Structures are given as C-alpha cells and as structure tokens.
A and B are shown apart, each in its own frame.
Chain A
Amino acid sequence: MMSKIVRSMTRPLYPFIILFGAYLVVHGHLTPGGGFQGGAVAASAIALLVVAYGGTRMFRKGTLTAMESSGLIVFISLAMVGMATVFFYNFLANGGPIFGEAIFYGPNPGYFNTAGVIPLMNMAVGLEVIGGLGVIIIALGKKAFEVME
C-alpha cells in the first residue's frame, strides 16, 4: 500500500487511463496505436491500482484469463470467416454492415467507419492484451506482496 497522495491520485486517474487505452484500440486503424498498444495502456491502469492499493484481490484471475482466451478466439474466428475467399480475407471492407464504408484516396481527416475487420481484430487483440498482461501483473504482484510481508 502506497502513501495517501498516490492513492488519492490513482482514484481519479485510472478511469482516464483505461479510456485512453480504449481510444487507442478503437482508433487503431486510423491513428498510431492499435490492439497491442491500447491493451498495454489499459493494463497499466491495473498495474497502478495493484501498486497503489497493495492488493491483488480486487481482480478475479478467472475473468482476466477468460478475456485473454476469448480475445484470441474472436481474432482467429474473424480470420476463419474470411475463408469463404481466403484465410484473413477482409470480408467487411467496402460494403459490410459495420466498418464498411469505402475509403477515400488522398488526404482526409480519417473516417472511422472504414477498414472492415481490422478494427474488430484490434479490439480482439486489445481484449487479449488486457487479460494477458493483467494476469502477469497480478501474478508478479502477489509474489511481491508475499515477499514484503
């Protein structure tokens, strides 16, 4: 458990860290970032909470591992759905129900509703990274607190 200053700063800060991570994930196809980077940022919120409050019981390991597996399953499933043409075929691009707008060539502000399966895959990877890094942080934290006591 850290000092009162760290704890009271953590409380307002961590939702914004998660929000920024989520932004990096969902805008991954337009701006720098993407699934892995955004997931890592969001997982750093978990690290902050674990360090500031000195406990690992607020996160359930089962939930995090389920997030990890399901993210990966969604990713591979999307690749497999494309197999009507070839593996990893972008079947939503240019005409799908979501993220299906055609891309304009040349300079543009970046249109969110484009790129087909790429944003969906980014989200799947983001979910997987939050789960995977979360499990690692909690495992390390548990051991660290054992040693400290």
Chain B
Amino acid sequence: MNFTEHIPILVIALPLFAAFLTPLMGKISRKAPRYFATAVFVIVAFLVVLLANMVYSRGTEPIIYTLGSQNDTIFRIVLEIDAFSIFMALIMAIVSLAVSIYSWAFVDKYSGQDKFYTLLLLVAVGSYGMVLTGDMFNLFVFFEISSIALCGLVAFRTERGESFEAAFKYMAYSTISGLLLLFAVGIFYSQYGVLNIAKIAEGVGSGPFNELNKIALGLLVTVFALKAGSVPFHMTTPDAYSEAPGGVAALYVAASQAGLYALFRTCFTIYRPVITTETIGWVVIILGVLSMFVGVTMALVQKDIKRLMAYHAISQTGYMLLGVGVGIAVLGNPAALDAYGKMAMEGGIFHIINHAMYKGLLFLTAAAIFYRVGTRNLNEMRGLAHTMKFTTIFFMIGALSIAGIPPMNGFSSKLMIYESVYQFSPILSAIAMLVSVLTLASFVKVFYSAFMGPKNEKVDAKEVPMSMLVGMAILTGVIIVFSLFPGLVVDTIIKPAVEALLHGWPIAGGM
C-alpha cells in the first residue's frame, strides 16, 4: 500500500498523535506547543485537500478505509468518506487552522498553553472522526472526544467562576446525550449484530419500520440536534459559547456542525428507505424554524457581545435545518425532490460552510474586542473603529455576510433556501426572511455601539497583535472568495455533497 491510501486515517491519527506530543513540547519551551500544533494543523489541512481531490475524482463512490486488517471488513472499524464527509472536513481544516494561529497571541498571558493546544487538537480529532467514520460506535467515541475536549476548553480560564459553570452545564448535557446515543447504537447492534453504518442501513431498509428503529431515530435526532445547538436543546450553547476563550468559540461552531453532519447522515444514509412520509422532514423543519426564530429574538435583547453572537449561531443553525429538512420531507416524492428539494438541500449545506466562516470570524472579532477592551458588555465600548481598523473591517464583512446582504456569501445560500422553501411552503420562506431582517437589525446595533461614536479615552484599544489578525484574515479570505464565486463553489463542493447524501453508502467488503 502506498501513502495516498493511508490519508483517510492520517487525518485523524496525526492530530491525535500530536495532541499527546504537545505536553512534551511544553517541556522544551513555552512557545513550542503553539508552533508545533499549528504546523500539525497545516499538514492536516493539506492532507484534507489531497483527500478531497481523491473523493471528488471518484464521483458518488465513497472511499473506504478499513482499520486492523483487510479481512472481515464488515466487523472492523471502517472509515467511509464521500463528498459530504469531506465537505465537513474541509470546514474543520480551515477553521482549526485559523483558530490555532489566532490563539498564539490570545492565550499568551495564560499558563497551561500545552494543555490548551492538546485540547484544541483533540477537538479537531473528534470532529474529523465524526465526519469521516463509517462505524456507528466509532461515531459515539468521537462524539465523546469532541465533547470532553470542548468542555475542557470552555473551562480553560480557571480564574472565572462562570467558566466552570458553563463547562459543568455543557458536560452534564453532553454526557447525557452521549448516553442516549450509546443507547441508540445498542438498539441497532441488538437487531443487526453489526456497527457498520452501511450494514445497519441495509438492515433498517430491508425490514418494516419497527418500533425499535423509531425509538433509535428519535434518540439520534435529539442527540445530534443537541450537539448542533438547536432550539429546544439550546440550554448549554449560549453559556458555553460566551465563556469559551477567544478563538475556541469559532472552533465550537465548526465542532457543533459535526452534529448536523451526523443528523443528516442518520436521516439520509441510515433511514433513507423508510422515510417515505413527510413526518421526519417536518420534525427537522420545525426544529429549524424554532431555532431561527427563538435564536434571533433572544439575540435582539442581549447586551453581552458574545452571548448575542451565540444566539445568532443558534438562529443560523435553523436555516441549515430548514433547508435540509425540506429535502428530507420530499424524499418520498422524486418529482418534488428534483423540482426544489435538491436546491433546498444545496442551500442548507452551502449555509453550513458559510456559517462556519462568518460566524467563526465574528467570534474572533468579538474575542479581539474583549482582548483589548476587557469587557463583553456592549454599553461599555464605543468608538473602537478609530483605533482597531482591521478588526472593524473584518467585523463588517462578517456582519454583512450573516445578515444576508448581497453580494456576500450568506446572501447566496439564503437566497437558495428562500427560493426553494417558498415552493414547499411560502410561510416558512417568509419566516426565514423575517429572521434575516432581525439579524441585520441586531448586527447594526452591535456595529453602532462597539465601533461608532467618539473615541473611548478610558481604554487602550490599539489594534490586536499580528497573529490574531492573520487568523481573522484567513476566514475573511474564504468569505470573499465564496462571495465572488458562489456558482463555482456550489458546483465543485456543494452539489457533489448533496448527491452523495442522496446516494447512500455501499457495504464495505464481504462477510
């Protein structure tokens, strides 16, 4: 076997290996962990791009990598990578790279940097694992890795009691949801005796849609909606986002989208043959509409900049659930699927990458403001545009994009959602547009109170250090490219992802 065949596992194994080496790097010098971790993130991003190239050249046929041995693959841990998996991995690659560079300066004043970067690498491992695996139990393991590492990062600033509270809340909910996920995996295992997702899908599709599988579906949708932070499972998200130090909130966005990935994988790959009615689609749509509306109305009243953005993250997750939910609802109706279902899914999935980029960028700018001003309260900051010029520009790009102003990338994906959802149900489309208007209103408020007005003499708000600017610039660059060439992006990475989702997975190897 040559090197290229091992790329799928290297994407997971390399950051895992590096995560355990990072504490030893901390013994060399104080700054060694940050350079080491960033170098690893660069290499992994490079590997992900290579892997993406391989996946797209194969069409809808996924790459299958078996761990342990080449025999009896059905019982072994497998990685199955199709265009949707690699799409999520690309998001994680970009965001983790930006966050790790951003954090050089941000965590400089804290002790325990080796642990910070270890946890950062472990979050990346968890998310890559969740999106690349083809094994149900492995999905659970990586879900736990990502949750526990994120919990550690949320509690990183140990001088603040609020951090512990947020981390404890997050840990309680993620542990409970992890157990529910394990229970669902147990249901599958007891019925089919395998953990391979493709084999489970075959089992679910061959029999009648029995009660056990209905329970498992309910559990899986709940667990992954909680991981994605959708209303009504958003109890932990505002606290955890606002207490996560600096760039970690941006990483949190990308990591919680692995929950969305798993949710869509459950509906499309495992339950595809039995979803013939609109019920499950409507459940996802209602989750989406609730998230959109509750998220944005809660955001309007916030005074804390990061908490406000956290509620917007919930609200934007609603768009993705709405778009893909319409796709699930028309799954049993091929005519409607071709007419607007696919386009709704494309819009929803395009919104995932757009959201990761602009919300990541907005969290980074919020952390940059906190870094200089030392407060997250919008009433205590003003006139930052006088001194923090680059941060202001980055914030403007992010805010225009999240509000869906043409020609930003947020507009492209939202337009796709509006157009296609309108054909399904006009009222849903109207709600989506209303939410977008409220989002704009809320970000105008933030922009005005933080950046406009006379110069604030009380705080020393000079521009943030170089590494933080570079981190923000990476995400801004991606947003600008996506804004200029939306059609190209949709054709190269979004359409294959939708096709891969609708195509399902073949079973790896024989018995």
Contacts and interface: CB of A to CB of B under 8 A. Distances in A.
A87 to B, nearest CB: 4
Residue from the set A66, A79, A86 with the largest chain B CB neighbour count within 10 Å: A86
Interface stretch (B18-26, B194-202, B318-326): B18-26
A88 interface: yes
A65 interface: yes
B457 to A, nearest CB: 43
A90 B68 contact: yes
Given A69-B23, A83-B6, A89 B17 contact: no
A84 B70 CA distance: 13
Contact of B66 (A76, A86, A90): A86
Nearest to A85: B1
A1 B21 CA distance: 37
Residue from the set A66, A69, A77 with the largest chain B CB neighbour count within 10 Å: A69
Interface string B1-35: 10000100100010011001101100000000000
A105 to B, nearest CB: 16
A19 interface: no
Given A76-B17, A80-B13, A86 B24 contact: no
A69 B13 contact: no
A92 B66 CA distance: 19
A73 interface: yes
B425 interface: no
A89 B21 CA distance: 22
A124 B229 CA distance: 36
Given A86-B65, A89-B69, A76 B1 contact: no
B68 A89 contact: yes
Contacts of B69: 85-86, 89-90
A72 interface: yes
A88 B1 CA distance: 14
Interface in B29-80: 65-70, 77
B68 A73 contact: no
A77 B21 CA distance: 11
Contacts of A79: 13
Nearest to A76: B17
Interface in A71-104: 72-73, 76-77, 79-80, 83-90
A72 B118 CA distance: 13
Interface residues of B, number: 17
Contacts of A80: 13, 17
A12 to B, nearest CB: 35
Nearest to B19: A72
Nearest to A84: B1
A73 B20 contact: yes
A86 B13 contact: no
Nearest to B22: A69
A80 B13 CA distance: 8
A84 B6 CA distance: 10
B143 to A, nearest CB: 19
A69 B16 CA distance: 12
B13 A76 contact: yes
A77 B24 CA distance: 15
A38 to B, nearest CB: 20
A89 B70 CA distance: 9
B12 to A, nearest CB: 9
Contacts of A72: 20
A77 B66 CA distance: 18
A90 B68 CA distance: 7
A66 B25 CA distance: 12
Contacts of B70: 85-86
Nearest to A83: B6
Contact of A87 (B13, B21, B24): B13
Given A86-B1, A87-B6, A76 B20 contact: yes
Contact of B68 (A69, A76, A88): A88
Contacts of A89: 68-69
A69 B65 CA distance: 27
Given A73-B17, A76-B16, A87-B6, A65 B68 contact: no
B94 to A, nearest CB: 25
Contacts of B6: 83, 86-87
B118 to A, nearest CB: 9
A86 B16 contact: no
Interface in B66-101: 66-70, 77
Nearest to A71: B20
A39 B448 CA distance: 57
Given A73-B17, A76-B17, A80-B17, A87 B23 contact: no
Interface in A12-62: none
B20 A69 contact: yes
A137 B353 CA distance: 42
A80 B18 CA distance: 13
Contacts of B17: 73, 76-77, 80
A73 B17 CA distance: 7
Contacts of A85: 1, 69-70
Contacts of B67: 86-88
Contacts of B68: 86-90
16 contacts: A66-B24, A69-B20, A73-B20, A73-B21, A76-B13, A76-B17, A76-B20, A80-B17, A85-B69, A86-B65, A86-B66, A86-B70, A87-B65, A88-B67, A89-B68, A89-B69
Given A87-B6, A87-B67, 18 more contacts: A66-B24, A69-B21, A69-B24, A76-B13, A76-B20, A77-B17, A83-B6, A83-B9, A85-B69, A86-B1, A86-B67, A86-B68, A86-B69, A87-B9, A87-B65, A88-B77, A89-B69, A90-B69
